[in-house]
Amino acid sequence: MSASILSFIIFLPAVVAFALMLTTKHMQTVRNIAFLTTVVVFVLVLKLYLQYEPGKGLQFVTDVPWISKYGINYYIGLDGFSLTILMLIALLIPTAYLLLWEGRTKGYWINMLLVQTGVTGALLSLDVILFYFFWETMLLPIFLIIGLFGTGNKVFSTIKITVYTMAGSLLMLVSILYLGVTYFNEFGTWSFALDSFTKITTLSYHEQIWLFLAFAVAFAIKIPLFPFHTWIMDTYKNAPTGGVFILSSIMAKLGIYGVVRFMIPIFPHVYVQFSHYFVFIGLFGLIYFGIAALMQDDIKRMLAYSSASHLSFIAAGVFSLNTLGINGALYLIIAHAMATGGLFLLIGLLEKETGLKSIKQLGGIAKQAPLYTFVFAIFLFASVGLPGTSGFTSELLIIFGVFKFNHVLGYISGFTVLIAASYMLWMFQRAILQNREADGGADVKMRDLKVKELLGFLPWVILIFLMGVYPEPFINKFAPTVTHYVSDILQIGALG
């Protein structure tokens, strides 16, 4: 397959978005064409996924000059790690469209297409300036989605996420430019390619630490990790359902991706030295956000804390310095995206139909909407790591990885995952299962899922169970890449 297929996958949504912007005002036409565009992207990515050969490094590479004077190239490609997340994005977006089908506007669908180009471009970029370009590009449509289609204090939420993200991005940009100048001073030519930055040998250890931390802050804000998480609660609360879905299921994963893709190969020694701190921060975030979730009455805020808790656990696995933990983290990226993304979409539907977000005010949903309740339960059980689901497999690998990294932290990680089961099951019992009529109240009126919505969720449900009982075909796609990072770049035995 031609290497140009990656460029087509990146830019097709943006080209279609701009064409729709200029040619039609009919919302249904825009929505239908946007949906078909994402389906075309999914088919192409699926073909890539099936043709990809694990263990052969970067594939489908395109490397052409962009800003030749400063060695900035249009340099893209993929390996098992980026391919897995690309497949995830390509699957989630068109199926999510089926769940966001009604009541949207032309601008909503156009911005969703632009987000897809931004996140896909960032995911496939191997030139660090090109990565930064797409990293910033994906922020604008999210800014518009929240600002135009959000609820409550949406303007404040929009400004807050923008300020946070841009502050972290500027730190990363300074670090990128510093690395570019350092490379020029050492080799006499300009280059901002990732593989060029890995060849730099003239940076002092203290310089590496500051540059490492600049990248770390930018990615920690996007994930988000404690204490860079304060933007997430109000943003998730006030953003429209599609915006929350993009933030939690897709954009947050790019923060984890950035850590593995850039921080490990550019700063391997600092990465190893600081790994204990980040594993601790990850486990602390798992506990802190979990306890905060238990205290919430707003169901979207509770899920926001739940998402942050799981993402902190993923970060702990990424910094565990062994293939067990990192493979588990990458697997949990997929599992978390489907489980939490599905829950946010279901909660968005619940809020739209009932006008309620308070757990205390909800109830009686199960007897009125049994299919809704059944699908909700599947995503919830995957989120808490029920055996047989994708969440269990991924969390178990991370626990083993953290245990191999440090026995005490491993025991802590094993016990703290019970926190998620506590607040998720408690929420499910109160908001969905309880009969409010028994307490003298009235059950909330809620419709059941439509056929189109069930079809949208069906691939996710199948994958949740397939990944839970037969993980090898999925892990085998990215495991060789992880082994390369641990053994060849970090120069640690494969099991740490």
pLDDT by residue (tens digit) across 158-210? Answer: 777 778 888 888 999 999 999 999 999 998 899 999 889 989 888 888 999 99
Q: Which residues pair with residue 75 across a beta bridge?
A: 63
In the chain, domain spans: 267-496
pLDDT at position 117 is: 93
Query: 392 with 328: CB under 8 angstroms?
Result: no
Q: How far apart, in whole angstroms, are the C-alpha atoms of residue 205 and residue 330? A: 29
Pairwise CA distance, residues 121 & 115, whole Å: 10
In the block, residue with structure tokens 């890995």: 198
Give the residue among 303, 247, 254, 242 at the shortest CA–CA distance from 94: 242
- Residue 270 near residue 209 (C-beta atoms within 8 A): yes
For the chain, give percent helix, strand, coil, nearest 5: 75, 5, 20
Positive or negative, the CA dihedral 298, 299, 303, 309 is positive
DSSP for 402-467 reads HHHH-HHHHHHHHHHHHHHHHHHHHHHIIIII--GGGGTS-PPP-PPPPHHHHHHHHHHHHHHHHH
Identify the pLDDT of residue 440.
47
Q: Helix, strand or coil for residue 66?
A: strand
Three-state DSSP at 72 gives strand
Q: How far apart are CA 325 and CA 486, in angstroms?
A: 11
Q: What is the pLDDT of residue 14?
A: 93
Torsion angle of the four alpha carbons 94, 98, 102, 107, in this order, in degrees rounded to the nearest 10: 0
Cβ-based neighbours of 425, under 8 Å, separated by 6 or more: 380, 384
Please list the pLDDT of the chain residue by residue as tens digits (496 residues): 456 889 999 999 999 999 988 887 788 888 889 999 999 999 999 998 888 888 787 888 888 999 888 889 999 999 888 898 899 899 888 888 888 877 677 888 888 899 999 999 999 999 999 999 999 888 888 888 887 777 777 777 777 777 888 888 899 999 999 999 999 999 889 999 988 998 988 888 899 999 999 999 988 888 888 887 777 777 777 777 777 788 777 887 888 888 888 988 999 899 988 888 988 888 888 888 888 888 888 888 888 888 888 888 888 888 888 888 888 888 888 888 888 888 888 888 888 877 777 777 777 787 888 898 899 899 988 888 888 888 888 888 888 888 888 888 888 888 777 777 777 888 888 888 777 654 544 566 778 888 888 888 898 899 999 988 888 888 888 888 888 888 878 766 444 4
pLDDT at 3: 61
The pLDDT assigned to 256 comes to 86
CB-CB contact of 187 with 138 (8 Å): no
The residue whose two tokens read 């030519």 is 189
pLDDT at residue 336 in the model: 85
The DSSP H or E segment spanning 137 is helix 128-137
